């Protein structure tokens, strides 16, 4: 086994790692509302979403090596240089995904990947490596528009739903809308699998082309499809409970009718926008929809402080991931060759392990994901789950959770 092949393997594994974080970071986009209203038990919700992501991944047909096309310009490089850029970009994306997950902030996985690639491309190719017009039209403008559009649609939907069902018994409303909610959330999951898994497939394809295993006109190998589908489904099943909690409990207190309005809005906008070539991020759309359901229901509270933190995270996603991507490229380049790639990979593992250990100090999982929102992501102890979902027991914290800055 030569050094080039090992570099390729590391890149492929890192790409699958990104796919995995993409899955668990985005579970909440589809399932947070169903979990929060008790329409589905937390474990059932993530399992359903995982299966639909798996199916969705196989439905994607991206064949060409177009990674972040129009955002970064990687045509001028090939071989190991290209592998280095893609690798550093992936590491940037993963680290940003994990960091935002640790703080329970839903942020766009695509933006994290784009950011990482932009940073690595800037560091290696200079200004020519990035297509700034594309950054504006494919990243910045959609990020500004998505929450507004989704919020508008969800507000309208929520308002109409509550108006129409005024006087309908709560029992009918709850059971009916829960069903509708699960249906629309499933559609969001399926669309997510189709759109997001193919991004990683594209990255691996590009790496294989750079290595010379494939040429640009080859068909997507089946093992790439399979491994990407499995990685995103596993990630989804693991469930990014911290993000789910923020989306389902932190932003707005959601009832079943609002949940259906939110997911229907997300599904409609995600499907139409990708069809019309306006690449709105699933995360931004889902978040906007959930906020919209808070605005559209009289008396509902939108926690604008939580929304504000999220907005800040969205703003810094691209530059932060870019910075990490650029630094990783620099380290890999400085050491050079296989040792450089392995060094960055080791850094990635260390940071990921550290963030995982950090999260275990104040774990959020299926048992306490629905606990009362008490000013922060980490639920206060001794507070039972809300009546909407009878299963979760009070948070079984392994040790008294210090309320440090993670809760801020």
Task: Return the range that interacts with another protein (CB under 8 A); candidates 76-84, 92-100, 202-210, 254-262.
Answer: 254-262
Nearer to another protein, 292 or 379 (CB): 292
298: its two tokens: 């009289």
Q: Measured from the CB atom, is 89 or 279 closer to another protein?
A: 279
Q: Encode 84-97: b = buried (16+ Cβ within 10 Å), e = exposed.
A: bbbbbbbbbbbbbb
Give the C-alpha separation, 204 to 3, whole Å.
18
Residue ranges in 44-73 that form contacts with another protein under rule CB under 8 A: 56, 58-61
Query: C-beta of 150: minimal distance to another protein in Å?
Result: 8
- Taking the CB of residue 169, how many other CB atoms lie within 10 A of it? 9
| Structural contact between residues 39 and 256, judged by C-beta atoms closer than 8 angstroms | yes
Per-residue burial over 280-303, b = 16 or more CB atoms within 10 Å of its CB, e = otherwise: bbbbbbbbbbbbbbbbbbeebebb
Residues 146-175 that bind another protein (CB under 8 A): 149-150, 152-154, 156-157, 160-161, 164-165, 167-169, 172-173
Residue from 22, 27, 236, 273 that binds another protein (CB under 8 A)? 273
Q: What phi and psi values does residue 252 have, to the nearest 5 degrees?
A: -145, 145
74-83 in b/e form (b: 16+ CB < 10 A) is beebeebebb
Stretch that binds another protein, among 114-122, 136-144, 230-238, 307-315 (CB under 8 A): 136-144
- 278-307 residues near another protein, rule: CB under 8 A: 278, 280
What is the smallest separation between the CB atom of 137 and another protein, expressed in angstroms?
5
Is 266 near another protein (CB under 8 A)?
A: yes
Stretch that binds another protein, among 134-142, 245-253, 350-358, 387-395 (CB under 8 A): 134-142
Q: Binding to another protein by residue 185, rule CB under 8 A?
A: no
Does residue 268 interact with another protein by CB under 8 A? yes
**What residues have CB less than 8 Å from 275, skipping those under 6 apart?**
none
Secondary structure class of 200 (helix, strand, coil): helix
Q: Which two tokens stand for residue 91?
A: 């590491």
Of the candidates 44, 47, 271, 300, which one interacts with another protein according to CB under 8 A?
271
Question: Residue 234's Cα: distance from chain center in Å?
Answer: 14
Q: Output 123 or 230, the one with its CB closest to another protein.
A: 230
Residue 105 backbone phi and psi in degrees, to 5: -105, 120
Hey, CA dihedral for 80, 223, 18, 310, is it positive or negative? Answer: positive
Residue the block writes with tokens 């329409």: 39
Q: How many helices and strands, by DSSP H and E, does the chain display? A: 13, 0
3-state secondary structure of 72: strand
Min. distance of Cβ 257 from another protein in angstroms? Answer: 7
- What is the closest distance, in whole angstroms, from the C-beta atom of residue 67 to another protein in the complex? 18
Candidates 104-112, 273-281, 341-349, 375-383; binding stretch for another protein (CB under 8 A): 273-281
**From 188-196, 224-232, 343-351, 373-381, span contacting another protein (CB under 8 A):** 188-196
Binding residues vs another protein (CB under 8 A): 56, 58-61, 133, 136-137, 141, 145, 149-150, 152-154, 156-157, 160-161, 164-165, 167-169, 172-173, 176-177, 180, 183-184, 187, 190-191, 194, 257, 260-261, 264-269, 271-273, 275-278, 280
């Amino acid at each position: 086994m030569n050094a080039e092949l090992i570099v390729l393997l590391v890149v492929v594994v890192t790409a699958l790692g990104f796919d995995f974080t993409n899955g668990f970071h985005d579970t909440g986009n589809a399932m947070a509302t169903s979990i929060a209203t008790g329409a589905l038990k937390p474990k059932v919700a993530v399992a359903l979403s995982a299966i639909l992501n798996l199916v969705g991944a196989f439905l994607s047909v991206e064949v060409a090596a177009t990674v972040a096309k129009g955002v970064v310009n990687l045509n001028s490089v090939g071989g190991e240089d290209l592998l280095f850029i893609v690798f550093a970009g992936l590491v940037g994306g993963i680290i940003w995904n994990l960091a935002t997950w640790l703080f329970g902030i839903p942020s766009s996985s695509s933006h994290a990947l784009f950011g990482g690639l932009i940073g690595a491309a800037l560091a290696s190719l200079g200004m020519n490596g990035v297509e700034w017009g594309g950054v504006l039209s494919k990243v910045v403008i959609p990020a500004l528009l998505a929450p507004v559009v989704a919020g508008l649609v969800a507000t309208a939907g929520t308002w109409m739903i509550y108006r129409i069902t005024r006087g309908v018994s709560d029992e009918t409303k709850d059971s009916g809308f829960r069903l509708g909610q699960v249906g629309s959330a499933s559609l969001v999951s399926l669309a997510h699998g189709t759109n997001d898994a193919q991004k990683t497939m594209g990255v691996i394809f590009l790496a294989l082309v750079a290595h010379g295993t494939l040429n640009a006109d080859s068909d997507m190998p089946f093992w790439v499809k399979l491994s990407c589908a499995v990685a995103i489904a596993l990630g989804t099943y693991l469930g990014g409970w911290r993000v789910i909690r923020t989306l389902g409990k932190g932003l707005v207190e959601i009832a079943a009718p609002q949940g259906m309005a939110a997911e229907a809005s997300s599904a409609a906008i995600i499907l139409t926008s990708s069809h019309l070539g306006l690449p709105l991020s699933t995360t931004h759309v889902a978040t906007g929809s959930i906020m919209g359901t808070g605005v559209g229901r009289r008396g509902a509270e939108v926690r604008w402080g939580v929304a504000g933190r999220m907005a800040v995270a969205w703003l810094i996603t691209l530059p932060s991931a870019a910075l990490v991507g650029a630094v990783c490229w620099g380290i890999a380049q400085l050491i050079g060759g296989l040792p450089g790639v392995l060094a960055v990979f080791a850094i990635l593992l260390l940071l990921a392990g550290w963030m995982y250990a950090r999260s275990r100090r104040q774990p959020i999982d299926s048992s306490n994901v629905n606990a009362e929102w008490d000013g922060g992501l980490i639920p206060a102890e001794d507070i039972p789950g809300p009546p909407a979902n009878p299963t979760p027991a009070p948070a079984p914290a392994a040790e008294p959770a210090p309320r440090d800055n993670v809760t801020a």
